């Protein structure tokens, strides 16, 4: 039976029409199993091709952690993209696909020795760092490799801040670059991350101001840096409009031109924006209950098997299946399939009342969903399907 969904105008603004149509056609084909992550490959390609197009002398490295499914990696490999990885597991997948090491970098500032050894064997020569023990490891297991130091910068306005775990201030960064040189590494540049889902364009201003200071001080100390790795952070639409790739990149490009030599090479490591809005999770309603605190709606994907970011504050847009008898909107507490009370995805979700067995779509769910997912409690991780 053909499924119907009522797309409100506010919802239509969140997702592009072709992604929605492709997913609805896929559902109509009758082969969909839930939960699945259905990805519009053309949208991934469009996003990827736009990236870097406004920043001179730039190369794009897809942050594999956003969605490491082989189908997605193949797509990006076919577009000639580079890859940013953090672990031996991510390296293994790229190695299986035969990706050339020149197309791979690692910007995890603290890597395991096992990973460094394997990456060095594979031929990867570009790494980030922000501590002395990391210099020790890289000097020992990947002598002569190129390294870029991770600066700490404010992450205000980013829905997924990343600044607490990594990054050093300018004085320490300079010391580390000098020490790296003294240990036989090639200190080539600076990196930072404005925070994921960053909708505050001024974070890039602050970051590039700091990077410029460090760049000048390094030059004065006899180190000529040639690389600026601006990390990721570009946002996607979850429930509201966000800065577009074009706006962000024109701004960044102008900032870089004002502050750095023309020859500086720029690396970009986007994850979320490549795949986020290209994917829709198709889930099923598994149960409903009226409880003291409200109306609960249970679905077959939750915090543990795909929607982990909802715990950190990402709010998705949902669409439920409708019938001619569908009633008015109601407020729901939306919960996942595990028998665990942590598995609550969102509260105050306004949806028409579905029936058990109906489908529920979760928009902009391509990034940081399946890559975070576990099979806790035996719950199924959504399969990724490219359409
Ligand atoms: C070092 C590094 N680069 C790139 C990314 C990708 O960031 P985003 O998905 O926000 O574009 C991350 C995300 O955690 C990261 O840690």
Determine the structural domain holding residue 196 and report its residue range.
52-269
In a domain, 44, yes or no: no
Residue nearest to atom 16 of ligand 1 (CA): 108
Verify that 29 and 103 share a domain, yes or no: no
Q: Closest by alpha carbon to 239, among 330, 350, 109?
A: 350
Q: Tell the residue nearest (CA) to atom 1 of ligand 1.
A: 107
Q: Are residues 305 and 191 in the same domain?
A: no
Pocket test for ligand 1, best of 126, 269, 364 (most atoms within 8 A of CB): 269
Look at residues 269, 289, 314 and tell me which one is the last residue of a structural domain.
Answer: 269
Q: Which residue is catalytic, options 126, 142, 339, 379?
A: 339
Average pLDDT of the residues in 335-339 = 98
Asked whether residue 161 carries a pLDDT value surpassing 70, the answer given is: no
The atom number, within ligand 1, closest to the CA of 86 reads 1
Together in a domain, 172 and 145: yes
CA pair distance 15, 77, nearest whole angstrom: 25
Based on the domain organization, do 218 and 109 belong to the same domain?
yes
Instruction: Give the CA distances from residue 63 to residues 60, 72, 233, in Å, rounded to whole numbers and listed in that order.
Output: 9, 12, 11
pLDDT for 115 = 98
Best substitution site from 44, 51, 59, 63 to test ligand 1's pocket, by max atoms within 8 Å of Cβ?
63
Same domain for 187 and 290? no
Distance CA 259, CA 52 (A): 18
Residue 162, pLDDT score: 66
Ligand 1 atom nearest residue 195's Cα: 10
Mean pLDDT of 196-220: 96
Q: Which of 269, 292, 327 is the last residue of a domain?
A: 269
Beta bridge partners of 57: none
- Residue 371 included in any domain: yes
Question: Is the separation of the CB atoms in 257 and 240 below 8 Å?
Answer: no
- Residue 327 lies inside a defined structural domain of this protein: yes
CATH number of the domain that residue 127 is part of: 3.20.20.10
Long-range Cβ pairs for the range 252-261 (8 Å, 24+):
252/54, 252/55, 252/204, 252/208, 253/54, 253/55, 253/56, 255/204, 255/205, 255/208, 256/55, 256/56, 256/208, 256/228, 257/56, 259/208, 259/209, 259/211, 259/212, 259/215, 260/212, 260/215, 260/228
Q: Judge whether residue 2 has pLDDT over 90.
A: no
Among 95-99, 169-173, 259-263, the range scoring the smallest mean pLDDT is 259-263
Parallel, antiparallel or unpaired: strands 158-160 and 196-198: antiparallel
**Which atom of ligand 1 sits closest to the CA of residue 269?**
4
* Token pair listed for 57: 């002398």
Count of the separate structural domains present in the chain: 2
Q: Does pLDDT of 164 surpass 80?
A: no
**Of 158, 121, 155, 161, which Cα lies nearest the Cα of 141?**
121
| 270 CA distance to ligand 1 middle (Å) | 6
Residues with CB under 6 A from ligand 1: 63, 66, 84, 107, 162, 193, 196, 231-234, 269-273
Averaged over 286-305, what is the pLDDT?
98
Give Cα separations from 226 to 126, 144, 266, 322 (angstroms): 13, 16, 9, 56
Domain finish residue from 244, 269, 294: 269
Q: Quote the pLDDT of residue 19.
A: 97
155 and 87 share a domain?
A: yes
Note whether 224 and 177 are within 8 A (CB).
no
pLDDT value of position 328:
92
pLDDT value at 160 more than 80: no
Residue 194 C-alpha to ligand 1 middle, in angstroms?
Answer: 9
Which has more confidence, 273 or 196?
Answer: 273
Residue pair 172/218 in contact by the 8 Å Cβ criterion: no
For residues 227 and 320, state if they share a domain: no
16 falls within a domain: yes
Task: Check residue 28 and give its pLDDT.
Answer: 94
Q: Mind listing the pLDDT tens digit for each residue in 69-117?
A: 999 999 999 999 999 999 999 999 999 999 999 999 999 999 999 999 9
| Same domain for 262 and 360 | no
Average pLDDT over residues 362-374: 98
The predicted pLDDT at position 323 comes to: 84
User: With bands split at pLDDT 50, 70 and 90, how would you rate the model's confidence at 163?
Assistant: low
**At 357, which CATH number?**
2.40.37.10
Q: From residue 190, how far is each of 6, 53, 207, 213 by CA, in Å?
A: 48, 21, 10, 11
Q: Average pLDDT for residues 241-266, to the nearest whole number?
A: 96
Q: pLDDT for 7-48, tens place per residue?
A: 888 888 999 999 999 999 999 999 999 999 999 999 999 999
47 within domain boundaries: no
Are both 252 and 320 inside the same structural domain?
no
Contact yes or no for 266/257 (Cβ under 8 A): no
**Same domain assignment for residues 287 and 265:** no
Please report whether residue 45 resides in a domain.
no
Q: 89 and 131 in one domain?
A: yes
User: Atom of ligand 1 at shortest distance to CA of 107?
Assistant: 1
Task: Mark whether 302 and 203 lie in a shared domain.
Answer: no
Within a domain: residue 377? Answer: yes
Distance CA 120, CA 77 (A): 21
Catalytic (active site) residue 198: no
């Amino acid at each position: 039976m053909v499924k119907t969904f009522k797309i409100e105008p506010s919802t239509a603004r969140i997702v592009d029409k072709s992604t929605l149509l492709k997913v609805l056609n896929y559902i109509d084909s009758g082969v969909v199993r839930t939960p699945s992550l259905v990805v519009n490959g053309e949208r991934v390609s469009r996003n990827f091709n736009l990236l870097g197009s406004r920043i001179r002398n730039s190369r794009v490295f897809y942050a594999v952690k956003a969605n490491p499914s082989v189908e997605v990696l193949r797509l990006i490999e076919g577009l000639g993209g580079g890859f940013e990885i953090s672990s031996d597991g991510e390296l293994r997948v790229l190695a299986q696909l035969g990706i050339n090491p020149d197309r791979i970098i690692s910007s995890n500032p603290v890597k395991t020795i096992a990973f460094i050894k394997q990456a060095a064997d594979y031929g990867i020569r570009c790494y980030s760092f922000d501590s002395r023990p990391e210099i020790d490891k890289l000097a020992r297991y990947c002598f002569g490799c190129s390294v870029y130091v991770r600066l700490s910068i404010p992450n205000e306005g980013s829905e997924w801040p990343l600044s607490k775990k990594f990054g050093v201030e300018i004085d320490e960064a300079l010391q580390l670059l000098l020490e790296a040189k003294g240990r036989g590494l090639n200190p080539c540049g600076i990196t930072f991350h404005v925070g994921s889902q960053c909708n505050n364009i001024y974070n890039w201003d602050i970051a590039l101001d700091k990077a410029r200071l460090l760049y000048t001080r390094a030059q004065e100390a006899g180190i000529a840096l040639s690389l600026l790795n601006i990390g990721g952070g570009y946002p996607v639409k979850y429930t509201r409009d966000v800065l577009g790739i074009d706006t962000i990149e024109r701004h960044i490009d102008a900032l870089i031109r004002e502050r750095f030599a023309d020859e500086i090479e720029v690396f970009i490591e986007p994850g979320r924006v490549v795949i986020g809005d290209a994917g829709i999770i198709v889930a099923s309603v598994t149960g409903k209950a009226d409880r003291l605190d409200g109306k609960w709606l249970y679905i077959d994907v939750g915090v543990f098997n795909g929607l982990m970011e909802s715990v950190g504050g990402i709010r998705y847009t949902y669409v439920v299946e409708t019938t001619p008898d569908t009633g008015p909107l109601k407020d729901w507490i939306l919960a996942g399939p595990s028998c665990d009370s942590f598995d609550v995805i969102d509260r105050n979700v306004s949806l028409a009342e579905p029936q058990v067995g109906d489908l529920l779509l979760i928009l902009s769910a391509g990034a940081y969903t399946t890559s975070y997912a576990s099979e806790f409690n035996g719950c199924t991780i959504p399969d990724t399907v490219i359409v």
